[in-house]
Amino acid sequence: MTIEAAKRVRELPPYLFAAIDALKVEARARGVDLVDFGIGDPDLPTPAHIIEALYAGARRPANHRYPSYAGSLECRRACASFYRARFGVELDPEREVLTLIGSKEGIAHLPLAITNPGDLALVPDPAYPVYATTTRFVGGEVYRYGLRRDHEFLPDLDAIPGEVARRARILYVNYPNNPTGGAASREDLARILAFAEQHDLVLVSDLAYSEMFYEERPPSLLELEGARARTIEFYSLSKTYNMTGWRVGYAVGNATLVGALGKIKTNVDSGVFGAVQEAAIAALMGDQRCVDEMRAIYRERRDLLCAGLRALGLEVRSPRATFYVFVKVPGSSMDLTARLLREVGVVVTPGVGFGEGGEGFVRFALSVPAERIKVALERLRSFSFSS
């Protein structure tokens, strides 16, 4: 008998960040001092009051047992309170809020809950790879709709062919946007919702970067009248509170969609560690000045990096939100990424890894201290982007 992985695994392209990690390991083995703008993993520490809540929760024997699959009611109430205060959205914590082991987990499991073989999902291009990958895992089909620089990286829904729109069942949206740094206004979201209503689509909203903004506060799709009838939204504590390693987030919105995802989760995981849920409560219900301070640090880094890259002759638009700078570059983004790493020890993410629409761009993550940004900019003075 020949032992091999399932067809879906054999056909899976290499995960972008894993490929970059292999290049980084090789460079470090040669003694290269890397300035790493690659993966969007905050370098800032989790705020102290959140850590203290974890300590206290870890000492409670009740938290040493299996947690609730859906998350404790207190944890879901904290999410509902946050949505009420931040977005003016009322959520039923028992039916419209589900605690997740990070929003990636929820997004990855969602197709199991709502996608049948042959269902067509509309996915941004460029986009976080998980939307398309996990749709294909369950036999769904993917149509990539463009996010273009000359359209402020907003979806050009009119460019979606009519027969595609009529076949589609699900529309994925992500604002503030990874990798482009684009942001959507309430009016932009209203146009997206109108398109979803016209074609009777389920709306999947990835709101992981809602608190990482530099201009106006990003809205939630659930603020819009009628959105709850067809929307499930994913919120993450990872970037807002520097908690990427803690793995906690939420799915909120339409009770049927949230409930369907909850049924999948009861069969594949055992919920979020109770002490982490208590830390999430402390984050959402506590003093939010730590988030303001985080934004100020990223704003300083954004302005420093963007000014420095412009001085090198690159076309750079300052992101309105997220901690990503999406930079237009000549030639192959993957080739340029490899050259940057090899020649000057600067790590970026190739735009093509987020889809064909990302070709011609590289992404810088602002998870690098200002002093290291200056080091990278100095190295880049000797680098030829056009070679």
Indicate the residue among 253, 285, 317 that finishes a domain. 285
Indicate the residue among 285, 300, 330 that finishes a domain. 285
Q: What is the pLDDT of residue 20?
A: 76
**CATH number of the domain to which 66 belongs:** 3.40.640.10
Q: What is the pLDDT of residue 307?
A: 98
**CATH number of the domain to which 316 belongs:** 3.90.1150.10
- Same-domain status, 69 and 119: yes
- Same-domain status, 105 and 240: yes
Q: For residue 294, what are the domain limits?
A: 7-45+289-380
Answer whether residue 339 is part of any domain.
yes
pTM: 0.96
- Same-domain status, 178 and 270: yes
CA–CA distance from 12 to each of 17, 113, 135, 354 (Å)? 14, 21, 12, 14
Q: What is the pLDDT of residue 19?
A: 73
- Same-domain status, 30 and 78: no
- Same-domain status, 276 and 181: yes
Name residues of the chain where pLDDT drops below 70.
14-17, 387
Q: What is the pLDDT of residue 16?
A: 64
Token representation of residue 290: 């730590």
- Same-domain status, 166 and 311: no
Q: What is the pLDDT of residue 200?
A: 98
Q: What is the pLDDT of residue 246?
A: 98
Q: What is the pLDDT of residue 232?
A: 98
Indicate the residue among 285, 310, 325 that finishes a domain. 285
- Same-domain status, 97 and 221: yes
Q: What is the pLDDT of residue 8?
A: 86
Answer whether residue 325 is part of any domain.
yes
Answer whether residue 387 is part of any domain.
no
Q: What is the pLDDT of residue 23?
A: 84
